[in-house]
A and B are shown apart, each in its own frame.
Chain A
Amino acid sequence: MTFAIEFNNVSRHFGEVRAVDDVSFTVRDGEFFTLLGPSGSGKTTCLRMIAGFEQPTAGRIVLYGRDVTTLPAYDREVNTVFQDYALFPHMTVGDNIGYGLMVRKVPKPERERQVAEMLKLVRLPGMERRKPSQLSGGQRQRVALARALINHPKVLLLDEPLGALDLKLRQQMQVELKAIQHEVGITFIFVTHDQEEALTMSDRIAVFDMGQIVQIGAPSDLYERPRTRFVAGFVGTSNILSGETAVTITGSAQPFSVRPEKIRLVDVATAVPAAHCAIEGQVQDVVYVGMHTRYTVALPSGEEMIVVQQNMDVTPQNGTAVRGKAVRLVWPRAANNVLEEAIG
């Protein structure tokens, strides 16, 4: 099977700085693949190397079986949606979208037909004559998308394309992007630092930290079985327990993580069911967030644990959890996720 993209030991060093350090991964054909990480983690540099804006200092990049490592950007069958959209301000929307066809010398009538079709796909029909400056942020986003898709790239690269939009519009565009991907059926490589966005949209996610990939997996893998402390903390919220506390709970000092929503808050008098873990603590803080309530519980060791409880009853505060009260935290043993790190 040919992969859409293969990274073979790719590095990109700027002097002493290792922006990308010996990264290898593969992307399957038709996949929605997300590069997730904090800023400066190397995810954008990886995307730019696929696009051809930057050259790796070591390693190979293969696109559908063809080594493109040193190929100029204009000879690669990939297109990019830029973070700032990078629409040409001196051209109309129509000319922007038709740009790729124009430089390939596609005749004008054919170009116009395809531009109109693309505008329909991104739900901006009849906007050809507008200037980019006359569009809203969401509209520019769609034009940028149409401009990339009209060239029928084998892979579409999206560099934090939703970062500049407000929350409502972002959520709407997330749904639309998925729909468009389904319609055109090509591979999408998506860069974001927003873990929630990554979880909702991706088939698979590669988590970047300090120039390296720390874990690749489906959203549920990453969420339920984060391999490292970094992933556990970056993708969603985790309670990470180690040392004495871990020994108290599991009998072993091996660090593990457990998600706040897996834990129940109960009265100290309540018995611990079989195959469950438990620890006692004191409620430090209660924050009502609407859908759920978040509790901060101080353990005897001084550490804190976060517990999230769905507000299923009409009155959310069940009386056990008021500030200062001693409580017992209970969760199924199966919810413990052992982290890959040395005991210490």
Chain B
Amino acid sequence: MELTTPKPSIFRRISTALHNHPGLFLLLLLALPLGWMLLVYIGSLIGLLIQSFFYLDGFTGQVVRQFTLRTYGDLFTRPHMEIFGRTVAMAASVTVGAALMAFPLAYYTVRYTSRRLRAILYLLILLPLWSSYIIRVYSWKLILAKEGIVSWFVGQLGLTAVLDWVLRLPVIGGPSLSISSLGLFLVFLYIWLPYMILPIMASLERVSKSLGEASGDLGARPSTTFRYVTLPLAFPGVVAGSIFTFSLTLGDYIIPSVIGDSSPFIGMTVYSYQGTSGNIPLAAAFTVLPITIMAIYLLVARRLGAFEAL
């Protein structure tokens, strides 16, 4: 029964060498992806941080590579803080709006559908997520235009006066929906909504149906069950979703430059500082703010158990 073992092939010898040195094998597997991410990405983030301590010489237009806090001095000025406040306010309202819209759809999909319908709904929620971002933004330019479908529809309902009244409101109003903060809010909401729906669905799927039945069995009315069982268990999903909606709104500059009244947001400001004015140090310092916010946000989210729902 002795098997004649031929001289092992080169592959087999490599395989055996890796078997004998599992640490080396792991290192080989990780070298490329880890090296790439550390070098390209983490390296860049560190580079960004370093740049924020340089400054732009106003006369020569050249970046001076010398450690200074001047750029941060420029950052903490009133106009910049207004931009900052506006962006955070928008990100927060988009997050709340997305949670309010996402929850019913997620709850309906997870709780009240057959397997077949659930698969279809799942696909319908995924499709916008993966579709072209820029086209989806563009579509709202068509929808919100003064002569577009929303105005037309409101007119058909005879509510044009109401729309005009809304547009005359301070802060959220503007000449048309397309050039108002309200319109901007709608587009942000539309673009990032799927990022809120999916984590909520994932966390609801983990809430077993029998928990609800147990609660009902113990005498709770459906509304009570929802309040004390379903909602707390689904909450990590909402937090996980909010990471995306908040962060993505914070860092977007395409949407506010296409829709809205062109009042600046963080993204647009960063873009214009690095682009037209070539002030990369200030642009870098600017992004340190959203990074800090997101770092705090992630730490809180982690404590709330949102990472399991990602």
Contacts and interface: CB of A to CB of B under 8 A. Distances in A.
A186 B12 CA distance: 27
Q: How large is the interface on A (under 10, 10 to 19, 20 to 34, 35 or more residues)?
A: 10 to 19
Nearest to A52: B19
Interface stretch (A70-78, A111-119, A169-177, A250-258): A70-78
B16 A75 contact: yes
A152 B16 contact: no
A72 B1 contact: no
B20 A70 contact: yes
Contact of B16 (A72, A77, A151): A72
A220 to B, nearest CB: 31
Nearest to A77: B3
B16 to A, nearest CB: 6
Contacts of B12: 74
B3 A72 contact: no
Nearest to B16: A72
A154 interface: yes
A152 B19 contact: no
B15 interface: yes
A72 B19 CA distance: 6
B20 A152 contact: no
A74 B12 CA distance: 9
Interface in B1-54: 1, 3, 12, 15-16, 19-20
A154 B3 CA distance: 10
B1 A152 contact: yes
Contacts of B3: 77, 104, 151-152
Contact of A154 (B1, B16, B19, B20): B1
Interface in B131-164: none
A278 B289 CA distance: 87
Contacts of A186: 1
A75 B8 CA distance: 10
A114 B242 CA distance: 60
A104 B20 CA distance: 21
A71 to B, nearest CB: 9
A72 B13 CA distance: 11
Most chain B CB inside 10 Å of its own CB: which residue of A70, A72, A77, A104: A72
Nearest to B8: A75
A219 B281 CA distance: 81
Contacts of B1: 152, 154, 186
Contacts of A154: 1
Interface in A168-210: 186
A107 to B, nearest CB: 14
Contacts of A152: 1, 3
Interface string A66-99: 0000101011010000000000000000000000
A70 B17 CA distance: 11
Interface in A140-158: 151-152, 154
B19 to A, nearest CB: 4
A154 B1 CA distance: 8
A83 to B, nearest CB: 24
A186 B15 CA distance: 29
A72 B16 CA distance: 7
B54 to A, nearest CB: 48
B11 to A, nearest CB: 11
Interface in A236-288: none
A56 to B, nearest CB: 14
Contacts of B15: 72, 74
A185 to B, nearest CB: 9
B292 to A, nearest CB: 38
Nearest to B19: A72
A208 B15 CA distance: 34
A104 B15 CA distance: 15
B13 to A, nearest CB: 11
A104 B8 CA distance: 10
A72 B18 CA distance: 10
Nearest to A73: B19
Interface of B: 1, 3, 12, 15-16, 19-20
Given A72-B19, A72-B20, A75-B16, 9 more contacts: A70-B20, A72-B16, A74-B12, A77-B3, A104-B3, A151-B3, A152-B1, A152-B3, A186-B1
15 contacts: A70-B20, A72-B15, A72-B16, A72-B19, A72-B20, A74-B12, A74-B15, A75-B16, A77-B3, A104-B3, A151-B3, A152-B1, A152-B3, A154-B1, A186-B1
Ranked 3 nearest A-B pairs via Cβ: A72-B19, A152-B1, A72-B16
